[in-house]
Amino acid sequence: MDLRLSDRVAVVTGASKGMGLAITATLLSEGAKVIAVSRKSSPELDALAGPRLVHVSADLTNPEAPASAIASAVEVFGGVDILVNNAGGPPPGTSLPRFGFLTPDDADWRDMFEFNLFSAVRAIRAAIPVMLGRGGGAIVNVSSTLARQPGAMNVDYSAAKAGLNAVTKSLSEEFGPQGIRVNTVSPGPVRTDWWTKDGGAADIIAASAGIDRDAVMDSAAPEMMRLTTGRLIDPQEVADAVALLVSPRSGSTTGAEYIVDAGALKEL
């Protein structure tokens, strides 16, 4: 299927690894031009180098960074048609999961909201005038199933993502009539650096449960989260959903939440 993304200009945050890397590669394969935003590049992102890809180094917890990334897209490629707010998860220097409401303090809450909500808000604020000047655009905010099904772990993260879902709905209502579609993709547990890095979620859960880290990712975590598919999600599966939502082929889809959760959410 041709997604009709040739020469569209996309900004993807958190683009150097995991879901962001998969999203970047997918949009490039569909002919888009991509500003890939991350604190630093990666060998995998460097391997995608070419005239349609520019890496912008940015710490999105810096309030000026999101607007600077949008400005780079305008400077290099002449505008912005697509914005994917993928950056999120543990703020720099933080490891998740955190257990219990009393664990994160005020600074932890501020860091979580800066990274998972405010950075997206700032990028959107900068992108909308540019998109309006081009007659419209598409925004996808990458949220989480934890926004819908919060629990005793990662309370601050769940709250930040719930806020992002609410922002998506509000933006869709305000700017949909002006040609800007805004949607959410909510993944369940994706096999990314969040899980696999040293000291990441797999190690934290393994230490708590007294089992091997590989067993956490291969069986314990899917069982604990009641994943219907029995496995963690592949980043490409999220990237495919994002690519479809930013495509003109989804021209009547706005204000929607697209779930890629391996069957974790059971409610109607």
Cα torsion through 233, 239, 245, 248, rounded to 10: -150
Considering the domain architecture, whether residues 153 and 214 belong to the same structural domain is answered as: no
Considering the domain architecture, whether residues 119 and 228 belong to the same structural domain is answered as: no
What's residue 267's pLDDT?
87
| Residue 234: DSSP 8-state | P
- Regions in the chain scoring below 50 on pLDDT: none
Angle at CA of residue 36, ends 30 and 37, nearest 5°? 150
Sign of CA dihedral 253, 254, 255, 258: positive
What's residue 113's pLDDT?
98
Residue 230's nearest CA partner among 213, 212, 217 is 217
Distance CA(35)–CA(52), nearest Å, equals 8
Considering the domain architecture, whether residues 165 and 219 belong to the same structural domain is answered as: no
Asked if the structure places residue 43 within a domain, the reply is yes
pTM of the model: 0.94
Considering the domain architecture, whether residues 247 and 155 belong to the same structural domain is answered as: yes
Considering the domain architecture, whether residues 120 and 219 belong to the same structural domain is answered as: no
Extract the tokens encoding 228.
Answer: 């219907």
What's residue 208's pLDDT?
82
* CB neighbourhood size of 151 (10 A): 10
Work out how many domains the chain is built from and give that number: 2
What's residue 224's pLDDT?
86
247 exposure class (CB count in 10 Å sphere: 0-12, 13-18, 19+):
buried
C-beta separation of 173 from 119 below 8 A: no
What's residue 171's pLDDT?
98
Q: Could you write out the three-class secondary structure of 161-210?
A: HHHHHHHHHHHHHHHHHHCEEEEEEEECCECCHHHHCCCCHHHHHHHHHC
What's residue 233's pLDDT?
95
Asked if the structure places residue 3 within a domain, the reply is no
Asked if the structure places residue 73 within a domain, the reply is yes
- Structural domain boundaries, residue 176: 9-190+235-260
> Would you name the residues annotated as active-site residues?
157
What's residue 95's pLDDT?
82
Considering the domain architecture, whether residues 87 and 196 belong to the same structural domain is answered as: no
Asked if the structure places residue 268 within a domain, the reply is no
